[in-house]
Structure 1
Amino acid sequence: MSSTAGGGSTQTDGPDAGPAGRLGFKPGMVIQELGWDNDTDDELRVAIEDTIDADMVDGDYGNVVDAVLLWWRADDGDLVDGLVDALTDLVGGGAIWLLTPKVGRAQAVEAADIAEAAPIAGLAQTTTAAVSKDWQATRLVAPKTPA
């Protein structure tokens, strides 16, 4: 068990960070949520909104966003199309967090499918994080291009 100076519960990074902190979300960020359905993890959603101190926006937002939270299941269609659509409002340097059911859960997405779809959509896979009991998150970003 670790302790930090001040002992505040609002810490958003480090090993004791909640799932929203592990995703790199901070107060003031605009997070777009796509693919929400009745099977999404409400505790994670609330934690993210508490961390950013705002509601997440949906696909009708119409402005740039700092990150996209994309809930995706095996039967949601073509993952490449879903990722390309998720790029629409994403600010340069922003990330897509692809949330998929964990292996062994209903509608789990194969890691190979993500690894195959990401580069076709123009994205690179950087990290994976466990964010809830049933969902895992994969961070996808546009690869850096030489200037």
Structure 2
Amino acid sequence: MAGTASTENRDGSRFGVKQGQIIQEFGYDDDVDEELRAELEAATGHELVDEGFDDVTDAAVLWWREDDGDVHDLTDLMTDSLTTLEDGGLIWVFTPKPGRDGHVRPPEVDEAARTAGLHSTSTISAAENWSGFRLTTRGRGR
């Protein structure tokens, strides 16, 4: 199936992370995909750091469900994730897939990203129950 990573590609490279990087996690709850988290930790060699981490990070992971709030709340969370994010760092927003409890429509993620000054570059099947939206900061100039 297109967009679904094979088990051979579960080394974190599909998320654009590599050994030594620090990933900050927002929105952790008991429904997150632990295999996806383990993949990210294995790829970087570090445990994910929580929302209270206040040093520089290379990437951010945001778990977001419909019940977590509206598009304005998602925008606020995206903005919060930028606080410690290194210039050029990636943000991944993980939302439940269509048909799963808590599903968030892609236009809502895109609207929140634009408002937060981010750009959605791709969407993947991140895990069995989670879609992933890759966000980057807008380029300088245009």
Aligned partner of 1:47 among 24, 30, 39: 39
How many angstroms does 1:15 deviate by? 9.4
Identity across the alignment (%): 41
Matched with 1:94 is 89
CA distance in 2: counterparts of 1:61 and 1:82, whole angstroms? 14
CA distance in 1: counterparts of 2:40 and 2:7, whole angstroms? 17
CA distance in 2: counterparts of 1:138 and 1:49, whole angstroms? 19
CA RMSD of aligned residues (A): 1.8
User: How many pairs were matched up?
Assistant: 134
Matched with 2:121 is 126
Q: Comparing both chains, which one has the higher relative contact order based on Cα–Cα distances under 8 Å and sequence gaps of 6 or more?
A: 2
- Structure 2: gaps (5+ residues): 1-5
How many angstroms does 1:19 deviate by? 6.2
Aligned partners of 2:56 and 2:86 also within 8 Å: yes
Report the structure, 1 or 2, having the larger helix content: 2
Structure 2 residue identity aligned to 1:27: Q
Report 1:1-147 matches (<5 A): 16-18=8-10, 20-77=12-69, 78-146=73-141
Runs (4 or more) in structure 1 with deviation over 6 Å come to none
Which structure has the larger Rg over C-alpha atoms? 1
For normalisation by structure 1, the TM-score amounts to 0.86
- Structure 1: gaps (5+ residues): 1-13
